[in-house]
Amino acid sequence: MSAIVPCYIDFEQMPVLDCSFGELPFAFGEYGDIEDTTLPEADLIEVPKAPEKQVKSLRFNDEPVFQTFEENRSDKAVPKVPISVGPEDVPLFKCKSGHMYDEIDVKIALLENKIFNEKLGEDFKQPQMNYLVKRLRKENYFLLSDPIGYVTTELLLGSTKSIGEFPVEVVRDCVANIKYILENVEESGSNYVVNYIESFSITNRPGKDQRPAVRKKLAQIEAILDRM
């Protein structure tokens, strides 16, 4: 006789039926010629349910968390050590003139290139344009992102004549700003950035304590303000 052995496998929900008829296993949906009318035996094998996958999600805290990293800047200072010169090293002045080559045509080509680059650099120098940019920045300092930082830099790095180029109220605000900066650089190894645009900062570390010079300039500014 012919019979269908109903075997199925479902790895997630359904159990697994191990169907066999004597020594002849039956594949899924396979017809087999069986002389005996005895139905094959089926053993129920329980398959453990696969563990659920952990769903990873990203949540943002309602309250921001701030962490401050503090480090002594002097620990990062790299001492300046002159580079040792070996017997086979070529001095810098000879490199600029092509003396490290033996071929005369190569030396001439390097010299011609050096002269051309120097002449090209002179042609592209624009001192008038740099002066114009500085003048426009000073006239429109109130449009900058940090006008007090800019004027403070001008007062500390410029001459005392620059005090009259800004309103008295702004100069007084800068005096208060200088005093605040001095309070923040009292600790050894500290540093305070006055103006990011001008890359100007005041430092207090061994070998580079700028506080005395700042205090001296502050006294000059205050003396001029008292006379105004």
Give yes or no for a contact between 43 and 18, defined as CB atoms under 8 angstroms apart: yes
Q: Where does residue 211 rank: exposed (0-12), middle (13-18), buried (19+ CB within 10 A)?
A: middle
C-alpha 6, offset from chain centre: 66
pLDDT digits (tens, 9 = 90+) for 49-91: 777 777 676 677 778 777 777 777 777 777 788 777 777 777 7
Helices 168-184 and 211-227 sit at what angle, rounded to 10 degrees? Answer: 160
Mean pLDDT, residues 107-131: 72
- Residue of 121, 97, 122, 99 whose CA lies nearest to 111: 97
Residue 179 has pLDDT above 90, yes or no: yes
Give the global pTM.
Answer: 0.46
Mean pLDDT, residues 30-52: 67
In this prediction, residue 10 has a pLDDT band, given cuts at 50, 70 and 90, of: very low
> Which pLDDT does position 15 carry in this prediction?
47
Give yes or no for a contact between 7 and 19, defined as CB atoms under 8 angstroms apart: yes
User: Rounded to whole angstroms, how far apart are CA atoms 181 and 194?
Assistant: 8
In this prediction, residue 1 has a pLDDT band, given cuts at 50, 70 and 90, of: very low
